[in-house]
Amino acid sequence: QVAVVTGAGNGLGRSHALFLGTRGAHVVVNDLGGAVDGTGGSRSAAQAVVEEIKAAGGEATADFNSVATFEGASRVIDTAIQAYGRIDILVNNAGILRDKSFINMDPEAFQAVVDVHLMGTAWMCMAVWPTLYREQQYGRIINTTSAASFGNFGQANYGAAKAGITALTL
């Protein structure tokens, strides 16, 4: 099977990608390689996970597109189709943090977090839907969320995005 994991360069996404690789999935490791707040970028994080999967005998391809736009999400799906001819599993895990109390949070910080978490999940689902459910009539989508959707100080943007992902999933 072919799996796409967004935000797979570190943390939970990395764990998902490595696990799927050890189970025989061909994995598209998507990550911009930026800082936790989404700034900057480097191909090294995604490429390192690809190398780990390959060293363990698996198959993987790196992808460096942003999920924060529909065009970027579509390119992630295109990477999987071009590399492996199909996609069976999508794990939406990409995320950034820009924590501040709501009164001190600027609109850009709120929007950036919502764009990656909530809109990135929606764009990825929309981009993969024709392949999974129309062409293949098979596939699985896993969306990562958090208990922060119930509220955490300094994370109004993150909590709102995660609550939106929960509602989208349901």
Active site residues: 158
Cα–chain-centroid distance for residue 100? 23
Phi, then psi, of 153 in degrees rounded to 5: -60, 135
Q: How crowded is residue 24: how many other Cβ atoms within 10 Å of its Cβ? A: 11
**What are the angstrom distances between the C-alpha of 39 and each of 46, 65, 111, 113, 138?**
16, 14, 14, 12, 36
Residue labelled with tokens 């939106």: 164
